[in-house]
């Protein structure tokens, strides 16, 4: 089992949906910066598709908004392949978010994040 822990920025608002079995799931797009800054002055970014399940997904989804910083623990991290819009094959990192905490908000006036 691979487990990741780190500070990430949400790339979009959480998307809450229900499975055919009735379970709630919130999908997250998490951006982790790593390494040294490049010539453009930016650090590389690793995008991870995360998910939160059940009642936690329902309770937290309204607070997980684009641009928010969150500290997450991701379990069962793995790489999946997908077909890009140009027809080529790409890879993405996917995992299940098992713990999450809000981070200091750098955007005053924005709705506060929930802690679990």
For residue range 90-105, what is the model confidence (pLDDT) as tens digits?
A: 888 999 998 766 654 5
Contact by Cβ (8 Å): 93, 79:
yes
Q: Is residue 112 part of a domain?
A: no
Q: Is residue 107 part of a domain?
A: no
Mean pLDDT on 60-89: 92
- Quote the tokens at residue 58: 């329902």
CATH number at residue 52: 2.40.50.140
Q: Which position has the higher pLDDT, 19 or 1?
A: 19
Strand partners, 18: 24
Report phi then psi at 36, rounded to 5: -95, 155
Residue 106 has pLDDT above 90, yes or no: no
For residue range 19-48, what is the model confidence (pLDDT) as tens digits?
A: 999 999 999 999 999 999 999 999 999 899
pTM for this predicted structure? 0.76
Q: Is residue 36 part of a domain?
A: yes
- Quote the tokens at residue 77: 């991290």
Give dist(CA 87, CA 93) in Å, integer. 19
| Domain housing 34 | 3-102
Per DSSP bridges, beta strands 45-53 and 24-33 are antiparallel
- Quote the tokens at residue 108: 């005053």
Looking at residue 115, what is its pLDDT?
44
Contact by Cβ (8 Å): 23, 53:
yes
- Number of separate domains in the chain: 1
pLDDT, averaged across the chain: 87
């Amino acid at each position: 089992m691979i487990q990741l822990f780190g500070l990430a920025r949400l790339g979009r608002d959480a998307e809450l949906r229900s499975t055919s079995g009735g379970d709630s799931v919130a999908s997250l797009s998490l951006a982790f910066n790593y390494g040294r800054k490049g010539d453009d002055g930016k650090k590389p970014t690793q995008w991870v598709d995360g998910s939160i399940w059940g009642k936690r997904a329902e309770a937290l989804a309204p607070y997980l908004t684009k641009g928010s910083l969150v500290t997450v623990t991701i379990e069962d991290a793995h790489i999946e392949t997908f077909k890009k819009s140009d027809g080529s094959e790409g890879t993405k990192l996917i995992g299940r978010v098992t713990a999450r905490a809000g981070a200091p908000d750098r955007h005053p006036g924005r709705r506060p994040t929930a802690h679990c």
